[in-house]
Structure 1
Amino acid sequence: MEKTDVVVVGSGPTGLLLAAELALAGVDVVVLDKLPERPVQAKALNLQPRTAEVLDLRGLLDDAHQRAIATVTEGHFARLPVPLSYDGWSARRPYQVGIPQARVEELLEERVVGHGIRVRYGHELVGLAQDEAGVTATVRGPDGDERTLRAAYLAACDGGRSTVRKLLEVPFPGTEPRAFGIVADVVLSQGSEGVPTQWTSTAKLFAGKAPAGRVTALIPLDEPGHYQLFTIGPDIRPESRDAPVTKAELEVALQASYGEEAEIAEVRQATRFTDASRQVEQYRVGRVLLAGDAAHIHLLAGAQGMNLGIQDAMNLGWKLAAEVRGRAPEGLLDTYHAERHPVAAEVLENTQAQGVFMFAKEDPGVDALRGLFTKLLAQPEVNRYLAGRISGFGIRYPMDDAGASHELLGARMPDVRLVDGRWASELLRTGRGVLLTAEPAFTDAARPWADRVDAVRVPEIPLTGEAADALLIRPDGYVCWTAPAPAKGLETALTNWFGAPA
């Protein structure tokens, strides 16, 4: 029986980032994937602004930029004609990074390999049992032989059809599909006219003359004539979810929206999806944690799926590592569910609302609602609220704080530039907590946690909003304690989030 600290099932963006976070904290990890190799299909195509910030916390964003195909300066809500603006969120980089999911997986796998971990492709989980001391996983390898893995914890990052979820018989409640879609990598024939050639705004990629009740978009990739074709609607229900996608089927969808001159020369990859919306009731089942699509699925609206999973992994990684290493305060691991379940529930809510606008056929009531919502989106407060929800900037976790109340408490730490020239994000590259302070008393108080928290003295904290004398920042970039001078409750906050003092 092979032994490890954590088994991660699934090597998509969620599983790979989680493995990287665990390895960064010195945890032994085994990553399994039943596929024989990493897939190359584009699937998701962008990093929302907050997800880009998350990668920047670990020094991965520059690499993502080098592999990106676009910078997307605005978002959308249900294709309504008023774009979502990222202004007002104190963002250093107020844009989405247009990058295929396969390239995100590529750069994350490189980071995992850099920690000495190899993804075990062709290894399928076929059995799972857990007890008070750990988890036993039965794995079938490429040769057909079955082996046993023993770990303290197991993380299910194996997608919407999660094997782990099924083996545990975890319910997956939600709504049945009403709309059916296809996402495909296609090459268009030369001479195809009326198709987009640049990607700077996602909303502008949707076809304006798609049939009522259907949404179609062409997203330019990085080769001439190479596109991702996205189409969904209630009227394209296949005989089965696994029915092969045909070139003729894609061409009908393409020409209905872009004209008969648009032709497909090659279909490289194609897969089906639906607008089913589901979420598990608990993200933790004993010693098994569920993350990404294994925990929640929803309509592909606003490009939120991959981002939701990556941020699940960032929230879970440092907490699970602390638990494995025996440093976690009581209840820390349970905050993963408490914090991330409501975030995904909001995503399910906003994607279902977008689906009402996107798939409704001729309906005066929906037309009136669409007109009203368009006017509301033009209001700065409403626009900022929805932009915050979809981009991830607006996430704010509840904090039981013993210090002063502050507008950043529970929110992401803005990537401000410090007096010494460093960006705040650079302080978190090691995956440790950070105490950013202008007061020597705070530095002295944090010294017993020096093995887990870096105390960084600066002349001042350059915030654009409410001032603060000290900010305690978790490894995932969220502020968990703030204070004006003199110090109040810092030791309590350090203990609550990082464990007992050394």
Structure 2
Amino acid sequence: MTYDVVVAGAGPVGLMVAGELALRGIRVLVVERLIEPDLTIKAGAINVPTAEALDRRGLLPRLREVQEAAFARMKQFRGGGGGGGGMPRVAGHFGGIWLSADDVDPSFFEHGPAGSVQLVGQADLERILAEHAVALGAEIRRGVTLSDFNSTPDGVRVELDDDVVEAGWLVGCDGGRSVVRKLAGFDFPGTDPVITGHQAIVEMSGAEGLSRGWNVTGTGVYVHGPVPGRVLTVEFDGPPIDRDAPITAAELEASIRHTSGVEVTVERVLSATRFTDNARQATSYRRGRVLLAGDAAHVHSPFGGQGLNLGIGDAMNLGWKLAAEIRGWAPAGLLDSYTEERHPIGAWVLEWTRAQIAIMKPEPYARALRGVLADLSRTTDGATYLASSIAGLRQRYDLGGDDPRVGRSAPELVLADGSRLADHLHSGNGVLVGGRTSEAPETPETPETPEMLVRPDGIVAWVDGDGDLDKAVARWFGDIRVEGVARAV
């Protein structure tokens, strides 16, 4: 059977890519070596750009349901009290330095309905995205191994166990040890790991001696909570000897005791992973008919939950551009702009995670620097800078022009008919928004919306008064008239 695209990997990034392609009628096959979804504890939250992306595809109600369940679990951990238990209202952390929400500029919290959804774990997100992709027509095959492929200027021949699939394109979303990346020969430079990290959900006794939240000690770092039995440890004695070996209760118990000094006893392991701070990035995200996204394109430590969100950003950027290439209407250079736009964001995240490792090290110079950053985090400017960076709010593509809105995620807009801008992006098309019609005169309740061109991924491509609209349309949508772009007022 012939497909337009084969996506390797059914994690959140692969599923998001598949959904974006299927939304536009692209024939897409997702192949995954695991027979069942991986429910191991991983990322526990999403940032604002990810929430906005999912909102723009109509998935916000499902995210809210997941978050409500997460709030219930956190309430249980705090003892059932209404926000008690000594846990302050925070806006994130940088290397375990908590950022008080009271220190952050109030504008940080003004991002519409999507801005209020954060507590969505990776397993729940994968389930939502899989259902979404399948409903749109994507095919998912589990328990299938991609063993090899042959790429030509006209397509890709993909070998799957005993089967061979012909496709126009191959997208590697198969994780940090990506088979697609290795077989295609992408360069993957970076820095070697210095830590061994564990994250787990366990049943243990003696936990009353553990402090909640992030704790930096003389021997490493440990985290307790925010849900019952959840622990995270970081040791600075180098990477694990065998990262793939089964994680035992004895191993976790020893790590918790070493980093915390508390004599806990781990009685049962419910879910556990190891991680390191290996930080690498492909020099390009495309080689001919093969593209990379997510951890296949970049790996780093998980601090700040950047990996999942970075990968969803890749998928949103790539999906509509690859679909345009397949459909034949992509202007010159559109698909190559995927690497041009996403690579700098990925490079920034690698540096951001390296900096967090640096201030967590159990040595005097790192602790001195940590103290300085802790002081800065208690100022409005410092807390706002750190919180907005963690939340992905400082991300911007360099699209040219002088208006600071160009290249950024479109603002939350309620239009004259009462609809939201996000509602008009559900179909995956670009939108020209703004102005008024004779049927919708400007009133204090429905002010004139600034005219702007919004790409299918929700990025502002043009704002009135900053360049020529026809040129902006041609740059992103090819040889069509402005009248051919969907307009929302």
- Residue 447 of structure 1 aligns with which residue? none
User: Match of 2:425, as an amino acid?
Assistant: L
Structure 2: distance between partners of 1:461 and 1:154: 51
Query: After the TM superposition, which of the residue ranges 62-71 and 164-173 deviates more from structure 2?
Result: 62-71
Cα offset for 1:63?
A: 0.3
Indicate whether 1:500 and 2:479 are aligned.
Answer: yes
Q: Does structure 1 conserve the Cα–Cα contact (< 8 Å) formed by 2:52 and 2:115?
A: no
Q: Indicate the residue corresponding to 2:386 in structure 1.
A: 386
1:407 corresponds, among 400, 404, 428, to 404
Q: CA deviation at 1:168?
A: 1.2
**Map of 2:330 onto structure 1:** 328
Name the % identity: 40
Name the CA distance, whole Å, in 1 between partners of 2:153 and 2:421.
40
1:63 matched residue in structure 2: 62
Q: Please give the secondary structure, in 1, of the residue aligned with 2:225.
A: strand
Map 1:324-473; keep pairs closer than 5 Å. 324-358=326-360, 360-363=361-364, 365-401=365-401, 405-438=402-435, 459=442, 469-473=450-454
1:159-198 matches, within 5 Å, as 159-189=175-205, 192-194=207-209
Give 1:237 shift.
4.4
TM-score with structure 2 setting the length: 0.87
2:93 & 2:463 partners in 1: Cα distance? 34
Q: Secondary structure at the match of 2:324?
A: helix
Deviates more, 1:40-49 or 1:371-380: 371-380
Cα distance per residue 1:239-285 (max 9 Å; x no partner) = 32222222012112334556646433320232221111000100111
**Secondary structure in structure 2 of the residue aligned to 1:107:** helix
- In structure 2, the residue corresponding to 1:119 is in which secondary structure? strand
Q: How far off its partner does 1:37 sit? A: 1.6
SS of equivalent to 1:97: coil
Q: Can you list the C-alpha shifts for 1:89-122, whole angstroms capped at 9, x where unaligned?
A: 4412545622221111001001011113231001
Change in 2 beyond 3 A, CA 1:255/1:37: same
Which residue in 2 is equivalent to 1:482? 463
In 2 relative to 1, CA 238–286 (structure 1 residues): closer, same or farther, beyond 3 Å? same
Please give the residue correspondences for 1:28-39 in structure 2 after superposition, counting only pairs within 5 Å: 28-39=27-38
Pairwise mapping of residues 49-60 of structure 1 onto structure 2 (< 5 A)? Answer: 49-60=48-59
Q: Aligned residue for 2:80?
A: none
Q: Structure 1 86/438 Cα, relative in aligned 2: closer, same or farther at 3 Å?
A: same
Say which SS state the counterpart of residue 306 (structure 1) adopts. Answer: helix
Name the CA distance, whole Å, in 1 between partners of 2:462 and 2:406.
Answer: 6
For 1:498 and 1:49, the matched residues in 2 are separated by: 26
Aligned ranges for residues 250-329 of structure 1 at < 5 Å?
Answer: 250-256=252-258, 260=262, 262-329=264-331
For 1:242 and 1:380, how far apart are their aligned partners in 2? 43
Structure 2 letter corresponding to 1:264:
V
Q: Which moved more, 1:275-284 or 1:114-123?
A: 114-123
What's the RMSD between the two structures over aligned residues?
Answer: 2.7
2:40 aligned residue: 41
Structure 2 match to 1:130: 151
> Counterpart in 2 of 1:120?
141
**Cα deviation, residue 327, structure 1:** 1.1
In 1, are the aligned partners of 2:158 and 2:164 still within 8 Å (CA)? yes
Q: Are the aligned partners of 2:193 and 2:238 in contact in 1 as well (CA < 8 Å)?
A: no
| Paired residue type of 1:118 | E
1:74-102 Cα offsets, whole Å, 9 max, x none, are 11111224447474244125456222211
Letter in 2 for 1:496: R
Q: Unmatched 5+ residue regions in structure 1?
A: 141-145, 197-203, 442-455
- 1:101-120 aligned within 5 A: 101-120=122-141
| Aligned amino acid, residue 381 of structure 1 | D
Q: Which amino acid aligns with 2:96?
A: R
Instruction: Report deviation, 1:308.
Output: 0.6
Q: 1:261 to 1:103 in 2, by over 3 A?
A: same
1:417 shift after superposition: 2.4
CA distance in 2, matches of 1:431, 1:139: 30
Distance in 1 of aligned mates of 2:226 and 2:121: 11
Q: What SS class does the counterpart of residue 102 from structure 1 fall into? A: helix
Report the alpha carbon displacement of residue 458 of structure 1 after superposing the two structures with TM. 8.2
| Offset, 1:12 | 0.3
| TM-score between both structures, scaled by the size of structure 1 | 0.85
**Mapping 1:78-97, distance limit 5 Å:** 78-83=95-100, 85=104, 87-89=106-108, 90-92=110-112, 93-95=114-116, 97=118
Please say if 1:219 is aligned against 2:225: yes
> 3-state DSSP class of the match of 2:107?
coil
CA separation in 1, counterparts of 2:219 and 2:419? 50
Residue 97 of structure 2 aligns to a residue whose secondary structure is coil
Does the 8 Å contact 1:178/1:274 carry over to 2?
A: yes
Runs of 4+ in structure 1 displaced over 6 angstroms? 460-464
Aligned equivalents of 1:29 and 1:320: distance in 2? 12
| Cα drift, residue 135 of structure 1 | 1.1
- Tell me by how many angstroms 1:43 deviates: 1.1
Residues in 2 aligned to 1:316 and 1:433: alpha-carbon distance in whole angstroms: 14
- Three-state SS of the structure 1 residue aligned to 2:433 is strand
Contact residue 439 and residue 470 of structure 1 kept, 8 A: no
Describe the SS at the equivalent of 1:470: strand
Structure 1 residues 422-473: Cα deviation after superposition (integer angstroms, max 9, x where no partner): 22211211111111121569xxxxxxxxxxxxxx988489999xx9741100
Equivalent residue of 2:271, what SS? strand
Aligned to 1:152: 168
Using the alignment, how far apart are the partners of 1:172 and 1:269 within structure 2? 30
CA contact (8 A) 2:416 2:440 kept: no
Aligned residue pairs: how many?
A: 459
